Amino acid sequence: MSHLGPGKAVSSKEQTGLRYPSNGKTIYHRPLNRTKTAELSQSSFAYLFSEMVTYAQRRVTGIQELEKRLNLQGHPIGLKLLDLLLTREPPRSQTRPLTIIALLHFIKINLWTHLFGRQADRLEKSSNPDTPDEYMIIDNEPLVNAYISVPREMSQLNCAAFVAGMIEGVCDGAMFPARVTAHSVGGKEEGEMWPGKTVFLVKFQPEVLEREALIGKG
Amino acid sequence: MSYYFAIIGTQDNPLFEYEFGTSKQGGDGQARFPDDAHHLNQFVLHSSLDIVEEVQWTNGQLYLKVIDKFFTNYISCFMTAGNVKFLLLHQPTATAAAAAAATAGVSGVTPVANPSRNSTAVGANPTSPQTEEAIKNFFGEVYENYVKAIMSPFYKVNMGIRSPVFRQRVAAAGRKYL
Amino acid sequence: MVRPDRQLQPHSSLQSNIIGNVNHATVISTVFALIIINKAGGLIYNRTFHEGGLNKISTNDYLVLAGTFHGVHAITARLNPLKPITNPNRTSTTSTFPSSTPNPNTGTPNPSATPNSSVPSVPSTSGGSYLTRPDPPAGLEVLETENFRMQCFTTLTGTKFLLFTDTTQANVDLTMRRVYDMYADYVMKNPFYQLEMPVRCDMFERKLGSYIREINNR
């Protein structure tokens, strides 16, 4: 910690060789609250995401590894969005999620609205008594998969693993360590209403449930 | 009145620290800690992390107010959504501290329950509503800049914040509110 | 948030040389088949939408057909039955008939070769001027027989779309435009599609199928 000593660091502007943008405006000069209607082109995202998938596909040995890489690409985004979205909340509802339900609602509503302009379609808890640590966030047609057709030989793959990574980032950041995976559940038949339906399976670590039980008592 | 501010990461690792003094009531903004207090402050601050962990799950607010006290050192805490802690150690000048300690009694480590409200000067009484509000505003401004800092694509979680602009912003917030 | 942007700028509206009188009330219009040929003349996609309209041919014949058409197309782009046209009002007319599809096979565009009569053959009155360059020749665009009508659309990158329809089919331009839109969305934005390779994208199949079915059932 001593290397961050207060006396030294104040004058570190010259030493760091830090370069400022030509207009002198760094990220600290920009407002955090962008207008709610700020939108991006879906096409540019589609091309960018397509390249991200292609990049992740390089030198992977299997589909699991590919999904892992997509997950890792999303993870830091989730971590950062957690703080960003909370600062954008109005001050009185600015609270940290303390329970699993509060956290999942934050993901379903705030995170989804910020990323995709709508809420996630459903939130479910595993009905299996053996897995009380599993929750499901359901999206009928994930935006990231809008233009993606997965080849037959990779049918296990769901590129929404990227979004799963973001969810995992939010959970990890809020101290609810979890493993999040994306699964395609839409039917392949003609006339299927939601062929791209995706379930994000959120599996929390045991200590999260332990703590949840303790908080419930207290 | 002197302040020692630190940002502590999720692994209880320090990310940023800054010492400053009050700019109110003619203060020059310089910290007036005794020479041997610099390292002590770090210990005092980090020892309060245990209390933070207890409080954080019962209170969903970001600003947790004064959570710990060690002799004349008061520690205020602010939790970000990503479980990064902002800790501010504030040490009132000897006379003000004595007055506060007298009213609070020997309260040990628990937050002072019923502070005297006779002093309105920010900082003179570490648990007065005025001080609480001032610290809250300070934390709020730092949080805003912290979020901007972590938005950098080159910033990963638990990395030290070395941006000189960030440091300037923290200093400015300190001057403005404390 | 991401906004869906559908609109591609039309950079080449298709010339429509509909000869027969189309009576909407009595005719049933049908789209028979779609063929996509890559810029090297290889068949990358073929699909029949309506049985009975055309004779069935084998896969091998399809490949031969694609290659043959590719050659014929290249030849037609070089044929030039017309004199060079110099029209001072060209800039305004080309905006309505911009058949500006460069043909990769013709090498340098031959300014004197303007086989398609999309360019209005209005003789210049104010003296010839080469200040405005004529569009490079687009080659064969429409082929009509008594049984079917074939329309060809060449993209800027040299990919050719062949749409086989009823001779009475109206608005083939529009249909072609939508097919091209879908190709741009569901094929080109798909990370698993390799350029110039056969198109195997479920999403493209599905969207194309439902669009053409809609037309054929009208």
Q: Could you tell me the residue ranges of all domains in chain B?
A: 2-177
In the predicted model, what is the mean pLDDT of residues A17-29? 79
Q: Tell me, what CATH number does C131's domain have? A: 3.30.450.70
CA distances in angstroms from B125 to B22, B52, B77, B178, listed in the order given = 13, 22, 17, 12
Asked if B81's CB is within 8 angstroms of A12's CB, the reply is: no
- The pLDDT of residue C111: 43
Q: How far is C188 from chain A (nearest CA, A)?
A: 8
| Best residue of B49, B52, B165 to probe chain A, by most A CBs closer than 10 Å | B165
Mean pLDDT score of chain C, rounded to an integer?
A: 73
A207 touches chain B (CB under 8 A): no
Q: How far is C206 from chain A (nearest CA, A)?
A: 8
Select the more confidently predicted residue: B50 or B114: B50
- The pLDDT of residue C70: 94
Worst-scoring range by mean pLDDT, A20-34, B51-65, B111-125, C140-154?
B111-125
Q: Count the Cβ atoms, other than its own, within 10 Å of residue A148.
A: 25
- The pLDDT of residue C23: 41
**pLDDT greater than 60 at residue B112:** no
Decide: helix, strand or coil at residue B43: helix
Nearest residue, CB atoms, C190 vs list A37, A114, A148? A148
Decide: helix, strand or coil at residue C48: strand
Select the more confidently predicted residue: B74 or A190: B74
pTM, two decimal places: 0.78
With beta carbons under 8 A apart, name residues in chain C contacting A195.
206
pLDDT digits over A105-146, tens only? 999 999 999 999 899 999 999 999 899 999 999 999 999 999
**Strand A40-41 and strand C2-3: pairing?**
parallel
Q: Would residue C26 count as lying in a domain?
A: no
CA distances in angstroms from C149 to A157, A191, B14, C28, C145, listed in the order given = 41, 30, 74, 14, 6
Highest mean pLDDT among A19-28, B158-167, C24-33: B158-167
Worst-scoring range by mean pLDDT, A148-152, A172-176, C34-38, C168-172?
C168-172
Asked if A117's CB is within 8 angstroms of C1's CB, the reply is: yes
Give the confidence band of C80 by pLDDT, cuts at 50, 70, 90: low
> Are there at least 3 beta-carbon pairs closer than 8 Å between C and B?
no
Chains interfacing with C (3 or more CB pairs < 8 Å): A
A193 touches chain C (CB under 8 A): no
Give how many domains chain C has, as a whole number: 1
Answer for the pair B64, B54: CB distance below 8 angstroms, yes or no: no
Q: How far is A74 from chain B (nearest CA, A)?
A: 12
CA distances in angstroms from B154 to A8, A32, C66, listed in the order given = 23, 18, 50
CATH fold for domain A40-217: Muramoyl-pentapeptide Carboxypeptidase; domain 2 (3.30.1380)
With beta carbons under 8 A apart, name residues in chain C contacting A52.
191
Residues above pLDDT 90, as percent of chain C: 41
A51 touches chain C (CB under 8 A): yes
Asked if B14's CB is within 8 angstroms of A1's CB, the reply is: yes
Nearest residue, CB atoms, A149 vs list C2, C3, C192? C192
- The pLDDT of residue C152: 94
**pLDDT greater than 50 at residue C115:** no
Residues above pLDDT 70, as percent of chain C: 61
Asked if C1's CB is within 8 angstroms of A149's CB, the reply is: no
Domain extent, residue C92, equals 31-216
With beta carbons under 8 A apart, name residues in chain C contacting A154.
192
Asked if A39's CB is within 8 angstroms of C192's CB, the reply is: no
Chains interfacing with A (3 or more CB pairs < 8 Å): B, C
> Are there at least 3 beta-carbon pairs closer than 8 Å between B and A?
yes
Q: Would residue C19 count as lying in a domain?
A: no
Q: Would residue C151 count as lying in a domain?
A: yes
Answer for the pair C164, C143: CB distance below 8 angstroms, yes or no: no
Q: Could you give the ipTM of this predicted complex? A: 0.83
DSSP-assigned letters across all residues of A181-197: EEEE----STT-S-TT-
Answer for the pair A70, A56: CB distance below 8 angstroms, yes or no: yes
With beta carbons under 8 A apart, name residues in chain A contacting C201.
149
Answer for the pair A6, B89: CB distance below 8 angstroms, yes or no: no
Q: Would residue C13 count as lying in a domain?
A: no
| Best residue of C8, C192, C195 to probe chain A, by most A CBs closer than 10 Å | C192
Contacts 24+ apart (CB under 8 A), C127-134: C128/C84, C128/C86, C129/C86, C129/C88, C130/C86, C132/C86, C132/C90, C132/C91, C134/C84, C134/C85, C134/C90
Best CATH choice for the domain B2-177 from the list 3.40.50.1860, 3.40.50.620, 3.30.450.70, 3.40.50.720: 3.30.450.70
In the predicted model, what is the mean pLDDT of residues A78-93? 90
Q: Would residue C48 count as lying in a domain?
A: yes
In the predicted model, what is the mean pLDDT of residues C63-84? 84
Q: How far is B159 from chain A (nearest CA, A)?
A: 12
User: Tokens 């970001």 identify what position?
Assistant: B62
- The pLDDT of residue C147: 87
